[in-house]
Structure 1
Amino acid sequence: MSFKKMFQFLRELDKNNHKEWMDEHRQEYHEVRDFYIQWLNELDIKLAAIDPGYSPTTGKQAINRINNNLLFHPNKPVYKDHFGAGLDKEKGKGDFYIHIGINESFVTGGLYRPKKEMLDSIRAAIDYNGEEFKKILNKRSFKESFGGLMEEEKLKTAPKGFSKDHKHIDLLRNKTFAVMHSLTQKEILEDDFQQKLIHIYKEMLPFRNYLNKAVSV
């Protein structure tokens, strides 16, 4: 089994996105899923070895369901066009999410549209020591890997309790604090793909540590 088989399965599923087809190909689905779980188990061990603060997350704990939640999104297809998994999972903190699909693949981390209490904590951390955060964001290798914060909805003015002239107002107006690194199918199929993800994890780690510290204080 391989990522090549995973892509083949996802392409066929995309063309036959209904329960009847999935039932007929259930064994193939489980073979692909089991391969990915085992691959995630291996990555989990390697990440734990390089990060003392890592929260061990087995492949079964990491992998997301392939079914879309039709209760909240009734217009979506029955099945997703990707396999998603979140490693380094710990309640109240952002994980290291891997998204492998036929239409897009990427790695992301941080906090996507956090709830008000967490958002307030992040803004308080930036107010107290935004220079450290900017140093992380402006590091050359970080910018080469992620560009910058994900472009999401921002406040049009300063958050409540902050001056519009605050020296870190460009960061304080954000509602999402996450970064993303896009992956090509070619990269995923290469033998050193796991090592590439480890490199991305290391590059993202100071960013995630800053946010996790902010929301855990």
Structure 2
Amino acid sequence: MDFKNLVEFLKALNTNNSKEWMDANRKWYKEVRDDFIKWLDHMNLSLAEIDAEYFDTPGKKGINRINNNLMFHPNKPVYKDHFGAGLDKRPLTGDFYIEIGIERCIMAGGFWRPDAATLKSIRDAIDYDGENLKKIVEKKSFKNTFGGLYEDVKLVKAPKGFPNDHKYIDFLRNKTFAVAHEFATNEVFRGDFEEKIINVYKEMLPFRRYLNKAVTVV
């Protein structure tokens, strides 16, 4: 994967963020996108080798659109400043997200503001077995990698059906159950970049499996 070409494309796009520029540079965009998809195919196979429960996710299925959704976010630029993709995309579960951007890159996973039914399933699991989640997120290597759960909108009080003095109230008030590891873009040019992805994936796996079990067990 020619990450330098990808980053140079994103920098040029960010400076000339318009449909006219994209149309004039469509060949360059397709070259970078195709290269990124091939790299995702490679990572798809690599992750499948280390995770027996991995859900096959080819690059074309995992890659996200580069266009921003202007219907819901009209003030955003036409195009994103990154290439993103989700791998291990088993239906109705949280996937493993990779983002390569101009100034930063992200590896993340879990559930970002899930629907009410999914959120209830996660909270019910915490109510039943919150100690297991606590052990996962308080593990030293987990904290070193992610810092903790992703900070997002939280309820002021306990969600409906749970007491305010619940043992795991700090978990239950969350509306997002996800973690993220950020790093500088220049790290993608290093020889150990793929090893870094695999290590983060492994560290995140118990957390994602806990959540996925919560939303799939009937």
Q: Distance in 2 between matches of 1:199 and 1:115?
A: 30
CA drift at 1:185: 1.4
Residue 120 of structure 1: aligned partner:
120
Match of 1:141 in 2: 141
Kindly indicate whether residue 117 of structure 2 is the aligned counterpart of residue 93 of structure 1.
no
SS in 1 for 2:109: strand
User: What residue identity is the alignment partner of 1:7?
Assistant: V
Q: SS of 1:121's equivalent? A: helix
1:20-99 alignment runs, 5 A limit: 20-99=20-99
> SS of 1:180's equivalent?
strand
Q: 1:52: how far off?
A: 1.1
Q: 1:186 corresponds to which residue?
A: 186
Task: Tell me, yes or no, if the aligned pair for 1:63 and 1:85 is still in contact at 8 Å.
Answer: yes
Displacement after TM superposition at 1:145 (Å): 0.3
Give RMSD over aligned pairs.
Answer: 0.9
In 1, Cα distance between equivalents of 2:20 and 2:159: 50
Identity %, equivalent residues: 60
CA distance in 1, matches of 2:102, 2:206: 30
The residue aligned with 2:107 is 107
Assess if the C-alpha contact under 8 Å between 2:103 and 2:184 holds in 1.
no
Separation in 2 of the partners of 1:69 and 1:175? 22
The CA deviation string for residues 183-202 of structure 1, in whole angstroms up to 9 with x for no partner, is 21121111221111011000
The alpha-carbon deviation at position 103 of structure 1 amounts to: 3.6
SS in 1 for 2:64: coil
Secondary structure of the corresponding residue to residue 114 of structure 1: coil
SS at match of 1:52: coil
Give the Cα separation in 2 of the matches to 1:117 and 1:209: 18
Alignment-mate amino acid for residue 18 of structure 1: S
Q: Deviations over 1:164-199 (max 9, x none)?
A: 111111111111100000021121111221111011
Distance in structure 1 (CA, Å) of the matches to 2:175 and 2:79: 29
Shift of 1:42: 0.5
The superposition leaves residues 117-161 of structure 1 with CA deviations (integer Å, 9 ceiling, x where unpaired) of 111111111111100000000000000000000111111111111
Gaps spanning 5+ residues in structure 2: where? Answer: none
- TM-score w.r.t. length of structure 1: 0.97
SS, match of residue 143 in structure 2: helix
Indicate conservation of the 8 Å contact 2:106/2:182, yes or no.
yes
Q: Name structure 1 gaps, 5 residues minimum.
A: none
Equivalent residues of 1:153, 1:175 under 8 A apart: yes
What TM-score results when the alignment is normalised by the length of structure 2?
0.97
Counterparts of 1:98 and 1:176, CA distance in 2? 18
What SS does the aligned partner of 2:14 have? Answer: helix
